[in-house]
Structure 1
Amino acid sequence: MPRSVSFVSVCLQIFFFLLLSLAPPTSSILRCGFSSSDSLWLVTQHIRSYLKSFFNLTKEHERSFGRRGVNPMVEKLRDMQRFFGLSITGTVDADTMQMMKKARCGVPDTQVSRFSTFEGDLKWQTTALTYRILNYTPDMSRAEVDDSVEKALNVWARVTPLTFRRMERGTADIMISFVRRSHGDFNPFDGPQGTLAHAYAPSTGIGGDAHFDEDEDFTYRSTRAHINIAGLSCYVLFLVAAHEFGHSLGLGHSRDPGALMYPNYIYKNPDTFQLPRDDVNGIQSLYGPNGNVNPNEPTPPTTPNSCDATMVLDAVSTLRGEMLFFKGRAQQSLISSFWPNAPEKVDAAFESRQTDRVYLFQGRQVWAFSGYDLASGFPRNIDYFGLPRNVNKINAALYDTHTRRTLFFVGDQYYSYDEARRTMDAGFPKSIETLLPGHTSKVTAGFQYRGYTYIYSGSNMFEYSLRTGRLFRALKNDYFLPCAN
């Protein structure tokens, strides 16, 4: 399965996409992570390998370059960018390279909008399936592996007529193993920091089997997985297995970034995990619904339509180089999976460069998260930042890297907070127009990206330089969102 963000829930629920890197591009062929004279060759090999593995770039395509006059890598890059909702340029910009570097499932991607099934709608002809765990990873106890696998299968059993029985010996429908590199299926793993796992569609022989890359570090609970946000490779086996078992049952990948079957790994709290609507629709298209549904079962979360240019976002922030977009309520959504103690609805959010925390605001309260963990002493009153008692709600917040100040927007005014000194700057609040000349509407969200400041107001977004107050462009607020249409 995949690795890394982004974000999902029912109508009026929060979502965010962990997608875009803040690292500036160095050229049209980005050398992300590479240097030295042969860096261009290395990154080209990485791109070619990625496109061969996941977007069917073949030797025949490459041999056809001279005859057809179209570079097949450019064509496949466009396919990849289209799948992930990136700008379709056919060149390797920063966002494309960042997406290629994310940990993910080893199953190729298909050009679909939402859920997909394998060609011919491959599925099991029985609803009573068996599984067998052939060996165990040393990363976890046997009991933890057993429980992770059982819970991952139950994710699909809860919404279909499917049942799963474990076998201790013999050949089961779904054979589960932990293996390294070449392991007998002509689909070798690539070592640490690459593909996490792969699985095969329902059929005889290897069909349905799921293989997990032993070179990766798997974990049982979310505690150890928190280090993944700092760039270390530790992944919750339950999440990886649930994704792979989707393939074992007949599902391909989805372009819905909130779906379990999205190719890239997205951390969700195993204790609060709920199968998103897109995945429910996909698996039920093959097997139908579960006839014994609990009437108290919560509604599957639905990803808001990121292609809706009129959508008004609640907040935008960054998290250690990734963008977070918030919309609607937090219950039964990805924000509750990332941060179970988060507020029900987010009014504003910002990332502090001083404390390495993300702050979420609702009403007169603020929550502080270090990685996935709620900081000690939070939530607390917003007077923590020196805001006056008559401020009942923060409309937006952003950290200005130039002045090293956090700006809080309240109505038609804003406050400036010095985090290094932990004091509110004197002379505030001031009119927003003194900061953003000509801007007279309420600020609903804001963040900085590659030296520019992006101010959201309703369904519009404005690109500014805070140093000069100059307005460069007026955009729709879906400009940074990955559109899956």
Structure 2
Amino acid sequence: MFFCFNIILVCVFCLSLLIISLIIPWGFLSYKASQLTEKMKEMQKFFGFKVTGKLDKETMEMMKKPRCGVPDVAAYSTFEGKPKWQTNKLTYRIVNYTPDMSVAEVDESMEKALQVWAKVTPLKFTCINRGTADIMISFGTRYHGDAYPFDGPQGTLAHAFAPSPAIGGDAHFDDDEFFTFRSSKGFVLFLVAAHEFGHSLGLSHSNVRGALMFPTYSFTDPDRFSLPSDDIRGIQSLYGKRMILKSTKVSAAVHVRSSGKTLLFIDKVYYRCVKCCIINKSP
């Protein structure tokens, strides 16, 4: 009887540890016991589950999946107050590197991840090698210098901070994870980084399955990746659309030497170009 009682205690203790290990990455430990049921309901509603307020099988399976460490909200969504950068020209710096990949692979992954957002907005990103950038990128484990420690392999893959002074915009990656260039035998750094940079630019999580800003990781061939429409609508709600001058006949063009700018006249509209316009000569 004593032996069975001990087994029951051990099982209850192990179950408690499992539950705690699941709820820590989702930020539930910061709530009082009386609030947990409501927060559980919010999460279930976010993912489109049956709303019970209980840690049922479906909810537990979702909580086990590798994910971003930023708390969930709703769909496409921005952070409270809609924080955004006040300039379209942003800098980034890779402070250190993961041993899982070559330096060149990390550099390419980060640049490609930022271009995901640049292709659909007026944003431009420049890499710097020293000093403080708008987006500081680093790899770390467990307690790594902010108030949001990582949890070891599998759980939280990374987190990033919304635009603001100091740590705002920075992206941190859990070096206890195994990151890859394009292999599914690990976590593709480009995919994780593209998601985190969405946070760096002001987007929160989306509850649209298939969206880049959905909170859990899902493998996609990085060479075939295309930014989903939900994410495009979200980022353009903050920064607007990227202006693309379609190939057309130019009525007239004037280059102003003093400013280095070129004015293009197309019908009754004129465009101002700065170091970006090449006009092919007609035969």
- Which band: TM-score by shorter chain? 0.7 to 0.9
1:141 match: 102
Q: Please state if 1:265 is matched with 2:226.
A: no
* Structure 1 or 2: more strand by fraction: 1
Per the alignment, do residues 37 and 127 of structure 1 end up closer, same or farther by CA in structure 2, a change over 3 Å counting? same
Once residues 41 and 18 of structure 2 are traced to their aligned partners in structure 1, the CA distance between those partners, rounded to angstroms, is 16
What's 1:54 paired with? 26
CA shift in 2, pair 1:75/1:212, >3 Å: same
2:206 maps to what in 1?
A: 254
CA-based RMSD of the aligned residues comes to 1.9
Q: 1:146 and 1:293, CA in 2 relative to 1: closer, same or farther beyond 3 A?
A: farther
- Matched residue, 1:202: 163
Stretches of structure 1 that go unaligned for 5 or more consecutive residues are 1-34, 66-71, 228-233, 296-485
**Does 1:150 pair with 2:130?**
no
Give identity over the alignment, percent. 60
Question: Counterpart amino acid of 1:102?
Answer: K
CA apart distance, 1:75: 2.0
| CA 193–277 in structure 1, closer or farther in 2 if over 3 Å, else same | same
The superposition leaves residues 40-72 of structure 1 with CA deviations (integer Å, 9 ceiling, x where unpaired) of 43433443454454355535x23xx4xxxxxx3
Matched, 1:43 2:15: yes
Distance, in Å, in 2 between the alignment partners of 1:46 and 1:291 is: 50
Count of matched residue pairs: 241
Alignment of 1:201-240 (within 5 A): 201-222=162-183, 225=184, 227=185, 234-240=186-192
- Aligned 1:57-456 pairs, distance under 5 A: 58-59=30-31, 61-62=32-33, 65=34, 72-110=35-73, 112=74, 114-222=75-183, 225=184, 227=185, 234-292=186-244
SS in 1 for 2:168: coil
Kindly indicate whether the alpha-carbon contact (under 8 Å) linking 1:55 and 1:79 is maintained by their aligned counterparts in 2: no
Consecutive unaligned residues of structure 2, counting only runs of 5 or more, are: 1-6, 248-283
Residue aligning to 2:261:
none
Separation of aligned partners in 2, 1:266 and 1:175:
25
CA separation in 1, counterparts of 2:237 and 2:118? 14
Letter in 2 for 1:123: K
Q: Give the letter for the 2:224 counterpart.
A: T
Partners in 2 of 1:40 and 1:254 — Cα distance? Answer: 35
User: Normalized against structure 1, the TM-score is what?
Assistant: 0.48
Return the TM-score normalized by structure 2.
0.80
Other structure's SS at 2:156 match: coil
- How far apart in 1 are the matches of 2:115 and 2:103? 18
How far apart in 1 are the matches of 2:8 and 2:17?
A: 15
Preserved CA contact (<8 Å) 1:253 1:263: yes
Work out the CA distance in 1 between the residues paired with 2:39 and 2:216.
18
Separation (CA, whole Å) in 2 of partners of 1:293 and 1:275: 21
Give the match for residue 325 of structure 1.
none
Letter of the 1:184 counterpart: G
The structure with the largest helix share of the pair is 2
Deviation at 1:293, TM superposition (A): 7.1
Q: Equivalent residue of 1:261, what SS?
A: coil
* Counterpart in the other structure of 2:251: none
- Give the 3 Å change call, closer, same or farther, for CA 191–290 of structure 1 in structure 2: same
CA pair 49-275 structure 1, distance change in 2 beyond 3 A: same
Whether the 8 Å contact between 1:51 and 1:76 is mirrored in structure 2 is no
Q: Is the 8 A contact 2:93 2:129 kept in 1?
A: yes
8 Å CA contact 2:25–2:151 kept in 1: the answer is: no
SS in 1 for 2:100: coil
Q: Per-residue deviation at 1:255?
A: 0.3
Task: Give the drift of 1:93.
Answer: 1.9
User: Judging changes above 3 Å, is the alpha-carbon distance between structure 1 residues 51 and 201 closer, same or farther for their aligned structure 2 residues?
Assistant: same
Change (3 A) 1:293 1:123: farther
Distance in 1 (alpha carbons) for counterparts of 2:199 and 2:189:
16
* Paired residues of 1:137 and 1:214 also in contact (CA < 8 A): yes
CA distance in 2, matches of 1:190, 1:56: 14
> What secondary structure sits across from 1:92 in the alignment?
coil
Alignment partner of 1:130: what SS?
strand
| Alpha-carbon spacing, 1:262–1:43, altered in 2? closer, same or farther (3 Å) | farther
Change (3 A) 1:288 1:250: same
SS of aligned partner of 1:38 = helix
Residues 48 and 73 of structure 1 are in contact (CA less than 8 Å); yes or no, is this contact kept in structure 2? no
CA spacing shift, 1:74–1:44, aligned 2, 3 Å: farther
